[in-house]
Each structure stands twice: as structure tokens, then as C-alpha cells.
Chain A
């Protein structure tokens, strides 16, 4: 089982500082996931609604940490020409979870049970506590609030990269992400 006691991050010396990888954690990002489209204000100075000039969301911006969920091949420096955008998912403090009794189950669900894959917390990927992050009990990556930023943000994201997942941890995250979208699911009749 992968738990908070197992180091899921590369050591500081092993972190690739010059490139983004799937599973990288970026600090202090303006988190744009789960935007309320109905709350966007558009402006058209010319009075022509077909020629919108700008838009804004009159609410407090959420800044926080995010994980790169783009495939490494998409964001690796050696393939930079391929990068059109970088996909990010926000981290949320696990201390604020409402069902404390299920946290250990959620943590252990980072490793999908390959022998008996019956159930898991597919929307969340657990991130263990680390001195580079403020979460004393760890955090979760929320796949339901994914967003992307343009490739011109690459360097600024790289500057704020603080952690890089190990290959195994990154693969576990990617499997959960894939299953979150791929599972058969149960639709209400």
C-alpha cells in the first residue's frame, strides 16, 4: 500500500529543475478549475455584443498548489514544440475533508488493487505531507477541477515547481486519472 509513510517524491537533488513532468507539484498557481460560467462578466465597449473585448469574474481568485497531469511526453522540455497547453489539477487540504473516518481508505486507494479492482476513490489522488507544502496531513489532487494554461506559462510554472513524483507514484496517479474518465459507471435510470 502507498501511504503517507512512503516517500512518493523525488529527493530535492533529483528533481528535474529544467522541465515539467507529469506529477510535478507547482506552488501558488491561480486555480481556474470549476469556473462558474454564469458568473463571468463580459464587456463590449463598442456596444456590440458580438465583439466582446474583455471578461472578468467578480469574485475572489483562488490561489494554491496544483499538480501537472499532462502526460510527461506532452510537457517534457525535449518535446517542447509539442506543448500547446499544460493541464493542471488543484490540490486540496485533506484536513478539510468531511468524512475523517474514510481518509485512510482514500490514502490507500492511491494504489489500485490489481487483483480485485472493485472500488476506489477515483476522483482524488492522495499527496503525502512534505516540507515543501503547507498541508500537515497531506492533500488530495482533485481531478474534477482540472484546467489548462497556455504554453507561454511554461517557464513561470517551472519556476514554481517544488516537488516531483517518483515514477511509481506518477504512474499510480495517471492510472487513477485514466480510470476516473474510463470507468463504466452507474447512470441513474
Chain B
């Protein structure tokens, strides 16, 4: 795969996704809602079936949020990540401490180095 300048790397993660059923597979005769609820809470087979549906939906959501977005935080220039940042605390004493040295003179240019950095 060719990556272009600035393009985020893509990841392929395989995971078993339990599909959320699109049609109701449970059966119920008539429109007696109360009887249906009674069935749900008393019939272990229906209870297990609903449990499977809910667990499948939860797992599906988890897989989508965790695996398919796995590389999201990998890009330090990702605007979405910036939106998730929380503000850092700033202590007034820190500012006062730094400001106290505002007029300090830097002598660094009086020492140079004869090495591979060529400066």
C-alpha cells in the first residue's frame, strides 16, 4: 500500500462481530404484550436469546469504538484528538517564578561545539 505525505496510517484489525439482528426472530402469538413480557421473564430460552442480542450489540459497539479507531490517537496532528484534550492546570506561583527571570541574559552564544551538528 502506498502512503502519501500527510496520510494517516491505516490499520486492519480482525475481530468477530456479532451482528445485531435486523428482524425479530422471536415469535409471539396475538398482541398480548403482557403475555409476551411474562414469556420473556419466565422462559429461559427467550431470556438467553435476548441476552445474546444485547451482548452482541454491546460487543459490536465496543469493537467499533476500540478497534476500528485504533490508529486515531497515532497522529499528533489529529484535530479530533485535540478536541479530547483537557486543559492543563496553571499555578500562579509558577508564572511568578518564571516572570522573575524575564530579564535574564542568555550567554549561550559564548560557547559553541565542534561536532557533527555544524553550528
- Give the interface of A toward B (CB within 8 A): 34, 42, 45, 51-53, 55, 60, 62, 73, 81-82, 84-85, 90, 92-93, 96-99, 102-103, 105-106, 109, 112, 114, 117-124, 142, 145, 148, 150-152, 175, 178-180, 182-186
> CA of A106 to CA of B105 in the docked complex: distance in angstroms?
13
Q: Decide: A121 and B117 in contact? CB cutoff 8 A.
A: no
Ordered nearest first, which 7 A-B pairs have the shortest CB separation? A123-B108, A52-B5, A119-B105, A122-B106, A84-B76, A85-B76, A96-B115
- Number of CB contacts from chain A to chain B under 8 A: 109
Partner of A184, one of B103, B108, B115, B119: B103
Q: Decide: A121 and B104 in contact? CB cutoff 8 A.
A: no
**Which secondary structure characterizes the binding site on chain A?**
mixed
Q: Decide: A182 and B106 in contact? CB cutoff 8 A.
A: no
Q: Decide: A122 and B108 in contact? CB cutoff 8 A.
A: yes
B100 to chain A, nearest CB (A): 7
> CA of A85 to CA of B78 in the docked complex: distance in angstroms?
12
Partner of A96, one of B5, B103, B108, B113: B113
Chain A residues, Cβ within 8 Å of B98: 175, 178-179, 182
Partner of B112, one of A98, A105, A120, A179: A98
Which of under 10, 10 to 19, 20 to 34, or 35 or more describes the interface residues of B?
20 to 34
Chain B residues, Cβ within 8 Å of A53: 2-5
Known: A180-B106, A184-B103. A97 touches B111 (CB 8 A): yes
Q: Decide: A52 and B4 in contact? CB cutoff 8 A.
A: yes
Chain A residue at smallest Cβ distance from B6 = A52
CB under 8 Å from chain A, chain B span 39-98? 73-74, 76, 81, 85, 88, 97-98
Beyond the given A51-B5, A84-B81, A96-B113, please list 9 additional residue pairs across the A-B interface where CB-CB is below 8 A: A53-B2, A82-B85, A93-B113, A96-B114, A97-B111, A98-B112, A99-B110, A112-B104, A151-B74
Q: Decide: A98 and B111 in contact? CB cutoff 8 A.
A: yes
